[in-house]
């Protein structure tokens, strides 16, 4: 092997190693858009072990308790707009993702799923005699779907402007080879929900350009127990005009 060949191989290995090391950073910057503003928007801080893990709209003697897992931008307190979509007889707990708002941690698939699991189990423990349900918005459909694999499953799952597989959405915006290299946080909601026998509502937005409605349709087709509802509007319009009603039953 010539010195030129050795130099070339060394250079290529360096590029690969640098690229691999930088993939996680690039992915976080492209996938997660947290804010860290000190506002509550009239919601009640949801505190556990001295840490704010989200915000809540609590009612006395709720008929249902909902865990809401929001989209990839902003923070939990921004989701005041989603609260009217729930029954005023239900309590709603909006979880803060790790690395969002004032919550410590790094955003990732694993950290989101772990935090969602802890939050759901905490609500189950706190409300043992009341149905505990889960709603996921956009990227929140990933951790919401992951909860279907728990032994004590959600009583109902509602997914709003969701995806079937995150990689399928990413490949509509970027070359497939780039997605395969960069995307490590790849939720597969079809696989996650495959063993869930409870009620699932899926709301897809007809004019959604972020997660085109065909992904909601593909998810519903892959999860036969689900109920698909197509609503008017774009990705961020779902909470307006009574388009989505999140209910159990």
Give tens-digit pLDDT for 143-163.
999 999 999 999 999 999 999
Residue 22: what pLDDT? 56
Checking DSSP bridges between strand 44-48 and strand 91-95, what pairing results, if any? unpaired
Residue 110: what pLDDT? 98
Average pLDDT, the chain: 92
Residue 193, C-beta contacts closer than 8 angstroms, at least 6 positions apart: 145, 148, 157, 200, 219, 222, 223, 226
Residue 226: what pLDDT? 99
Residue 25: what pLDDT? 74
Instruction: Kindly tell me the sign of the dihedral angle through the C-alpha atoms of 196, 197, 199, 203.
Output: positive
> Which stretches of the chain drop beneath a pLDDT of 50?
2-21
Residue 11: what pLDDT? 35
Smallest CA-to-CA distance from 202 within 226, 222, 178 is with 226
In this prediction the pTM is 0.90
Residue 13: what pLDDT? 37
Residue 6: what pLDDT? 42
The CATH code of domain 32-231 reads 3.40.50.1820
- 123: buried, middle or exposed (CB in 10 Å: 19+, 13-18, 0-12)? buried
Residue 23: what pLDDT? 65
Alpha-carbon span 187 to 195, nearest angstrom: 16
């Amino acid at each position: 092997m010539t010195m030129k060949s050795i130099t070339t191989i060394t250079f290529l290995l360096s590029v690969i190693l640098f690229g691999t090391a930088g993939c996680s950073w690039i992915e976080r910057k492209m996938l997660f858009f947290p804010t860290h503003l000190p506002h509550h928007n009239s919601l009640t801080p949801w505190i556990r072990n001295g840490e704010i893990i989200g915000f809540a709209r609590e009612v006395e003697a709720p008929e249902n308790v909902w865990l809401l897992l929001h989209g990839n931008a902003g923070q939990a307190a921004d989701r005041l707009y989603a609260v009217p979509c729930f029954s005023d007889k239900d309590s709603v707990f909006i979880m803060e993702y790790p690395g969002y708002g004032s919550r410590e941690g790094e955003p990732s698939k694993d950290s989101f799923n772990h935090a969602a699991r802890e939050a759901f189990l905490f609500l189950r423990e706190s409300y043992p005699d009341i149905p505990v349900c889960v709603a996921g918005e956009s990227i929140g459909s990933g951790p919401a779907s992951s909860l279907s694999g728990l032994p004590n499953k959600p009583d109902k799952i509602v997914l709003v402007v969701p995806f079937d597989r995150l990689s399928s959405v990413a490949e509509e915006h970027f070359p497939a080879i780039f997605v395969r290299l960069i995307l490590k946080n790849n939720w597969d909601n079809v696989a996650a929900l495959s063993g869930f026998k409870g009620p699932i509502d899926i709301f897809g937005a007809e004019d959604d350009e972020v997660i085109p409605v065909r992904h909601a349709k593909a998810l519903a087709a892959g999860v036969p127990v689900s109920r698909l509802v197509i609503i008017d509007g774009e990705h961020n319009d779902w909470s307006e005009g009574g388009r989505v009603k999140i209910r159990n039953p």
